[in-house]
């Protein structure tokens, strides 16, 4: 499995390999074979946008290779000391949106919180950006699902993606939250317009997984 990134070559955008999967680890395809370990439940959302569970210290080299510039942290607890030190050392901006972990998304997740987090995601100055909660399943899944609504994904595709990352602990309340989330206020957001203008979004060249 190869993780590729969009690279500018003249007037053309092409996909160049960054990481190649070998067994349970990833190795750099540029600059030598350095073992890299992605965070649990890691995935590529779109060009310059990633998702995962809580990164551990062994995942830091992987995040450095991705050149992560910002992190959206969706838990209410303070960032652990080792993670906070890594963020400071790499000049990574940390955006915390404290959402309590609960089986009832309608109770713990507010539209306002999701709207604020989406504004951070849409601001391309924050890219590359990583979204994470504790396990990268429910809170992260809700935010990514609402982001997909901005991209005009159909509901079945949004649910399929949510299930892929949340299994085996799927929460129907999360899927209802995504379905009922009103993105109309974000459609004309200045950052949303900039995001689409610069060619980002699901129809633009982006990071993709391909079979080796």
What is the pLDDT at residue 3?
Answer: 52
Q: Is 133 a catalytic residue?
A: yes
Q: What is the mean pLDDT of the chain?
A: 79
Residue ranges in the chain modelled with pLDDT below 50: 1-2, 4-18, 22-23, 29-31, 105-107, 203-212
210 falls within a domain: no
pLDDT at 31: 46
- Judge whether 54 lies within some domain: yes
DSSP codes, the chain: -EEEEEEEETTEEEEEEEEEEETTEEEESSSS--EE-PPTT-EEEETTEEEES---GGGHHHHHHTT--EEEE--SSPPPHHHHHHHHHTT-EEEE------S-HHHH--HHHHHHHHHHHH-GGG-SEEEE-SSSSHHHHHHHHHHHHHTT--HHHHHHHHHHHHTTS--HHHHHHHHH---TTTTT-HHHHHHHHTT-STTS---EEE--
**Same-domain status, 122 and 105:** yes
Pair (73, 154) in one structural domain: yes
Shared domain check, 76 and 133:
yes
Question: 45 and 32, same structural domain?
Answer: no
**Same domain? 27 vs 64:** no
> CATH number for the domain including 197?
3.90.190.10
Q: Is residue 65 part of a domain?
A: yes
125 shares a domain with 115: yes
| Residue 119: inside a domain | yes
Answer yes or no: is 20 within a domain.
Answer: yes
Q: Are residues 102 and 22 in the same domain?
A: no
Q: Is residue 10 domain-shared with residue 79, that is, in the same domain?
A: no
Same domain? 25 vs 78: no
pLDDT for the residue numbered 150: 87
Residue range of the domain that includes 181: 38-204
In the set 75, 133, 142, 154, the catalytic residue is: 133
Number of domain units in the chain: 2
Residue 212 lies in a domain: no
If asked whether residues 32 and 42 sit together in one domain, one would say: no
Same domain, 102 and 48: yes
Q: What is the pLDDT of residues 90-140, one digit of tens each?
A: 999 999 998 876 655 444 578 889 999 999 998 889 999 999 999 999 999
Residue 15 lies in a domain: yes
- Domain contains 209: no
Domain shared by 118 and 128, yes or no: yes
């Amino acid at each position: 499995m190869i993780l590729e990134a969009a690279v500018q070559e003249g007037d053309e955008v092409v996909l160049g390999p960054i990481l190649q999967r070998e067994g349970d680890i990833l190795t750099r395809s540029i600059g030598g074979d350095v073992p890299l370990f992605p965070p649990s439940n890691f995935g590529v959302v779109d060009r310059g946008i990633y998702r995962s569970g809580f990164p551990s210290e062994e995942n830091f080299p992987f995040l450095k290779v991705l050149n992560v510039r910002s992190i959206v942290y969706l838990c209410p607890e303070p960032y652990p000391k080792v993670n906070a030190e890594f963020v400071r050392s790499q000049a990574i901006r940390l955006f915390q949106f404290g959402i309590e972990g609960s089986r009832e998304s309608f109770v713990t997740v507010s539209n306002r919180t999701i709207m604020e987090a989406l504004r951070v995601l849409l601001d391309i100055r924050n890219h590359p950006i990583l979204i994470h909660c504790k396990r990268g399943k429910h809170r992260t899944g809700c935010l990514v699902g609402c982001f997909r609504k901005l991209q005009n994904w159909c509901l079945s595709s949004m649910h399929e993606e949510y299930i892929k990352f949340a299994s085996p602990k799927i929460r129907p309340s999360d899927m209802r939250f995504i379905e009922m989330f009103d993105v109309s206020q974000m459609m004309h957001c200045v950052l949303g317009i900039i995001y689409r203008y610069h060619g980002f979004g699901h129809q633009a060249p982006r990071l993709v997984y391909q079979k080796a």
